[in-house]
Structure 1
């Protein structure tokens, strides 16, 4: 049967015509135990898992019936580092001057749909433009467009000339002097103002670029770009508003400063030292590796004209290191949550990250935990997301095969449900 997309808000949504939905699963993945259980029936009421029944009892009357008895069911996957309203391309740099807010928002809706179809029912967005991810989050929540549940940082924060300064390499009359409203800060007062502006804009969390980066048109990809005082001001102010702070980092000095200041998560972490790993373990700091982005930029750096020369040089040097760092951090016991940086790499390719993790020593069970229970804990949503258990959101996907033996099956998701509503049903091929 062809792919069936059932859009939120339409009367055909699964569960819309009935108060209760039963999903028969051929097997179920217990992500906590790392085990594949036998046949179960997931009972869903009002968008939440009501109970998990062993086996396949006779269908009750007046329930919506979903038969996945030939497939393996598991919780919806979660990607903790995306840029849901943009995507890398050779034209991306010029599009900063040609795309309007509406263009960015409409593209974001396309990318969100692609992400959901890939089985990712929750994402963290770590940097947008025009606050497009805030509007997209709200539209998805209201049922106006299909997509994953979004937790967004809106515009990421930088210092002048830093990785997320939106005017890097612009000519002087265009660049101007962006400030906290545009996500550029210098000093403690502006750091606090920039956080408060994100709160006003509707962000769920804060993202800072604590070091240089690959895709910005700036010389350094790894220099420290925030002072200790600025980091402390951002983190303390965010805490006042109930928000965590994620830090983009490649270089060790900026990374060390961020961890010492109490950062919630380190993103990329390319040149993470043993000392920093020890600090992160002691403080419980999360690590979101984004191996997929590292591989993608290194590959595209060899494609003539894909990136400006200054970007290609950084991509060749930094991109290949991330998987090696992940291998070391996992062996050391650093807390890891799943993240891809999709938007740098193509949206919908998120599940490739599982293969990269397993390739260097992480077990499939642990890899699945990074994208379910670990990601939920990072978000502070561990009581409602990341498991197929009573009281949790009815986020359920299904695959053909056993992901605990072969994570590549996660690249071909046959069924996607979010909050009890069906978005993809390819449970019967033909």
Structure 2
């Protein structure tokens, strides 16, 4: 069977129907309905959605990840969800009538970014926020649920992270995702799966038509399934290049699930924006990544989690892979490859993004550099560096309050005392 090379025709009815189904599966339609018409139709236009909380956070020790500067007895003033002031107390900086959060004896940081997470439901999105991830990038969902979660975040920002959605996975065997979307259904009859240039472009184009912000693909099989070999390559350099080219035509980047060295190398040469997992990435590929500015999202927490599996194949895989990945992270950092934190949380289990920071530190990064992987570095990857990753005037009013100095003990980031999203205490 041949798939037409042209992108799928725009269909307002199809798009609305598909995304309505995604919203129903994610539970976002019910959440917005329960919140009332004001939530469904924000009255205040703002960059990245409705940012309408007012809050003063005072007395804490403020950390700026960009500079490493520490300010004691600081004040953070958030107006309409955006930082108005962050720094030392100054006369008139704290207006009357604004809700206050006393942070004395605590540390104040920008909300964290989970650059690889699978959010399919309202409950998962809410849990991610309460565990510190106020921004995130999706690692794909089965049926565009992440696009629904993104829309929830824009209308009820305290219920979900600010989200860059990936839509459905570009993979040889797309499973139920193919049958769930009328514009993908013709791919179900392809012998050998989604492999031709036309089929690969079709999946990318449909994702873009549904509103995806980024494209997710793979070069290797999965490590989390005992019957798969994560060193087996499923797409060639040429196939990956077709995916990247189609995404770029839509102005989007590609994140690529990868394990084997050859797979990593092919993916980076094909022009992906970020390498995910990348356990066996080697020096030649790291040099290529540094030259191209390719980001590395090692998802250490996910690999460490394999070692705790009850399945002996997965447990052994985790024990063998984790030290290799730690060394890859250390080498990448020393070489200047930009590292970003992602938990790869999925299936209803949300790992605190602070735990990934802790594992980055254990792999050899300083506490400050480890924090940057979930703040300034991740913000650049997501294209949010002018509004996320710091607490400064004009930035998002997303805040993490922790009980002690994270530069002395990064594990405290896994146990936030308070999380503020768009000026609202979560």
Distance 1:360 1:228 in 2: 30
Deviations 1:160-201 (A, max 9, x none): 4xxxx437xxxxxxxx995499xx621111111110111122
For residue 21 of structure 1, report the CA deviation from its aligned partner.
Answer: 2.9
Contact 1:35 1:404 in 2 (8 A): no
How far apart, in 2, do the equivalents of 1:274 and 1:179 lie?
39
**Greater strand percent: which structure?**
1
> Which position in structure 1 is the counterpart of 2:101?
66
1:156 to 150, 158, 169: 169
- Per-residue Cα deviation, 1:361-414 (whole angstroms, up to 9, x for no partner): 210000111110100000111111111011111111101111111101112101
Partner secondary structure for residue 294 of structure 1: helix
Match of 2:60 in 1: 26
Q: 2:143 matched to which residue of 1?
A: 130
For 1:386, which of 375, 389, 410 is the aligned residue? 389
Distance 1:71 1:422 in 2: 16
Change (3 A) 1:338 1:361: same
What SS does structure 2 have at the residue aligned with 1:336? coil
1:250 & 1:20 partners in 2: Cα distance? Answer: 45
Does residue 339 of structure 1 match 2:352? no
2: CA distance, partners of 1:316 / 1:406: 25
Q: Normalized per residue, which structure has more helix?
A: 2
Confirm or deny: 8 A CA contact 1:296 1:345 kept in the other structure: no
Instruction: Give 1:127 shift.
Output: 1.8
RMSD (Å) for aligned C-alpha atoms: 2.8
Distance 2:157 2:304 in 1: 34
CA contact (8 A) 1:290 1:322 kept: no
Counterpart of 1:426 in structure 2 is none
Unaligned runs of 5+ in 1: 1-6, 86-107, 168-175, 424-430
Indicate if the aligned counterparts of 1:251 and 1:271 stay in contact, CA closer than 8 A.
yes
1:91-102 to 2 correspondence within 5 Å?
none
Moved over 4 A (4+): 7-11, 56-59, 176-181, 309-317
> Does residue 80 of the first structure (1) align with residue 83 of the second (2)?
no
* Distance of aligned partners of 1:285 and 1:318 in 2 relative to their CA distance in 1, 3 Å threshold: same
What is the match of residue 256 of structure 2? 247
- TM-score normalised by the chain length of structure 2: 0.80
Contact 2:306–2:317 under 8 Å retained in 1: no
Q: C-alpha separation between the residues in 2 aligned to 1:180 and 1:241?
A: 26
Deviations 1:236-258 (A, max 9, x none): 11111121100010011111111
Match of 2:131 among 118, 136, 146: 118
Return closer, same or farther for 1:411/1:206 CA change in 2, 3 Å cut-off: same
Secondary structure in structure 1 of the residue aligned to 2:417: strand
- 2:78, 2:423 within 8 Å by CA — same for their partners in 1? yes
Residue in structure 2 matched with residue 428 of structure 1 by the alignment: none
Aligned counterpart for 2:416 among listed residues 413, 417, 424: 413
Q: Retained in 1: the 8 A contact 2:112–2:353? A: no
CA distance in 2: counterparts of 1:349 and 1:47, whole angstroms:
23
Q: Is the 8 A contact 1:223 1:253 kept in 2?
A: no
What is the match of residue 179 of structure 2? Answer: none
Q: How far apart are the structure 2 equivalents of 1:33 and 1:376?
A: 15
In structure 2, the residue corresponding to 1:416 is in which secondary structure? strand
- Between 214-223 and 333-342, report the one with greater CA deviation: 214-223
The equivalent residue for 1:278 is 287
Quick one: which of 263, 267, 275 aligns to 1:266? 275
* Partner deviation per Cα, 1:219-265 (whole Å, 9 max, x = no partner): 32122221222211111111111211000100111111111111100
- Aligned partner (choices 396, 401, 415) of residue 398 of structure 1: 401
> Which residue matches 1:101?
none
Query: Pick from 64, 70, 80: which aligns with 1:36?
Result: 70
Match of 1:214 in 2: 223
Q: Match for residue 103 of structure 1?
A: none
Question: TM-score, with normalisation over the residues of structure 1?
Answer: 0.79
Q: Is the 8 A contact 1:39 1:56 kept in 2?
A: no
**Size of the alignment, in residue pairs?**
371
